[in-house]
Structure 1
Amino acid sequence: MAGKFEIFADQGGMFRWRLKAGNSEIIAASQTYESEEAAKKGNASVQTSAAGATVAVLTADGK
């Protein structure tokens, strides 16, 4: 089963998005946004950016 993004209001009334794996485990979570629309835009930005993102493995010495 594919993962899915969820946009929701937290207990403080702010909006967030989270990415859940196919087994329903949360594997990524956002900062807070003041509006649902802002959370949707933030989520869309992550979806677009992640498609071409590279992976940098950082060592303890910062290299």
Structure 2
Amino acid sequence: MSGKFVIDKARNGQFYFNLRAANGESILKSEMYVTRASAEHGIASVKANALIEERYERKTDKSGAPYFNLKAGNHEIIGVSEAYSSASARDAGIESVKKNAADAVTQDNTKAHE
């Protein structure tokens, strides 16, 4: 079983997605989008950029926890990871995005609420 993108709607009415690994763990979260179509475009961008190593920006948050951003070709952030316990765990997260994004199906949870 491969990963999946899950589109949800926030309380403010905006849309976002998570890329979940086959085990259900969230490995990448998007920014907020005004429309569902924009979120779907973001998913397409993740799929297009996931295998390009240079698109991953390895960072450390204020508390010292490693995380990463996935950027599009225009250098805009299209996804942010969770905070990890170590740099090696962060790097494993990047590998998980590479493994899961390309073939991931999309589950749209927002359509059930319309």
Pick the TM interval, shorter chain. 0.7 to 0.9
Percent identity among equivalent residues?
38
Query: Matched residue pairs, number?
Result: 61
> Which of 86, 94, 102 is the aligned partner of 1:35?
86
Counterpart of 1:49?
Answer: 100
> Aligned letter for 1:13?
G
- Normalized per residue, which structure has more strand? 2
CA distance in 1, matches of 2:66, 2:84: 5
SS in 2 for 1:18: strand
Please give the per-residue CA displacement for 1:8-62, whole angstroms capped at 9, x wherever unaligned.
1111100001101111111100000011100000110111011211122330438
> Aligned letter for 2:113?
D
Matched, 1:61 2:113: yes
Counterpart of 1:10?
Answer: 61
> Aligned letter for 1:61?
H
Greater RCO between the two (CA within 8 Å, min separation 6)? 2
Structure 2, unaligned stretches of length 5 or more?
1-47, 50-54
Structure 1, unaligned stretches of length 5 or more?
none
> Aligned letter for 1:50?
A
- Normalized per residue, which structure has more helix? 2
CA distance in 2, matches of 1:22, 1:35: 27
> Aligned letter for 1:54?
V
TM-score under structure 2 normalisation?
A: 0.48
Large movers: runs of 4+ above 6 Å: none
